[in-house]
Amino acid sequence: MDGNTKAAILLACLGPTAASRVLSRMDDAEIERLTLDLSSLGTIDPETREAIIEEFHQMMIANRYVTQGGVDYAKTILESALGPERAVEILTRLQSSLQEVPFEFLKRADPSQVITFIQDEHPQTIALILAHLQPDIAATVLSSLNPEMRTDVVLRIATMDRTPPEIVREVERVLERKMASVFSQGFTFAGGVKEVAEILNRIERATEKNIMAELEERDPELADEISRLMFTFDDLIYVDDGGIQKALREIDQKDLALALKHVDDEVKEKILKNMSTRARDMIAEEMEYMGPVRLRDVEEAQQKMVGVVRRLEEAGEIIIEGRGGSAEDDIIV
């Protein structure tokens, strides 16, 4: 199991709220990669989850020791606690995890998929890719090429010298984008797309928009599937009036006033019409005295109400109409 998959499983174990906090500290490329990996996760057995959590814990401790006193210090501490062999194993794994391995994503692909996407590439490109694959996968791919191409590729691998990192990264980027549609197949496993939607619901709005825009470009069908499972503050217009009223009972007046500072008129009207005249006046007064506010604070307040609505929906206490689902979930009036 590659590092990206382990990271995705760890995020799934952390739960949406904690996972979104972790993702918010990563760059866009890392977030996009992990989002795709999260989407493709199937059901993970308890033993695997425990092993990955334990591995993360050990790596975290080892990294802390390395940061505090260097590799030798970390080795001494770990040897004392876990024994020499285990200490070397953990430090080796830590070192390898900090290094970027070219074409790491191909470990998730079947050799037949790799063949499909590289057979029309230039022999030098194919040679570069195969040189970075594990021998058994490279052998399968090589044997599937036509005889003339095989010989050319083998010669190029044999005479290959150091390749500039920027060229490797560019070839890797192009190939990964071409194969994105293959990796996205089968993302209807339990916990996959739904888990991503849960995390994106809790992540900063600007980051969520960037991720969804990238996903829309790379895989429109996957982006649409995730989008249909998500729920944002603007989706409150789909909540029935009784549901809005139930949610409002659990929302602090200051949070509600803050949430309404930056929102579409349709959503604002949906909320205000489900409040008493006195409550509306109090909210208007609160908003007036509030003055300028940060967008981040507004989004946090909006997310509080979204969280309440989602919890009430999961409990079956309210109904959200018109947001995907099967025919059996349609509302008959």
DSSP track, 122-167: -HHHHHHHHHTS-HHHHHHHHHHS-HHHHHHHHHHHHT-----HHH
Distance CA 218, CA 84 (A): 46
Asked if residues 107 and 37 have their Cβ atoms less than 8 Å apart, the reply is no
Alpha helices, DSSP H, located in 24-110: 28-39, 46-82, 84-97
- Residue 239 pairs with which residues in a beta bridge? 320
Residues of the chain falling short of pLDDT 70: 95-110, 161-162, 165, 176-195, 201-205, 228, 321-333
Reported pTM:
0.37
Domains and CATH numbers, the chain: 103-183 (1.10.220.30), 234-329 (1.10.220.30)
Written as six digits, the tokens of 181 are: 């549609």
pLDDT, residue 271, reads 92
Asked if residues 90 and 44 have their Cβ atoms less than 8 Å apart, the reply is no
- Phi and psi at 239, nearest 5°, equal -85, 135
Handedness of CA 66, 70, 71, 72 (dihedral sign): negative
DSSP for 222-249, written as a single string: HHHHHHHH---GGGGGGB-HHHHHHHHT
Residue-wise pLDDT tens digits, 61-83: 887 877 777 777 778 887 887 78
pLDDT, residue 66, reads 76
- Residue 320 pairs with which residues in a beta bridge? 239
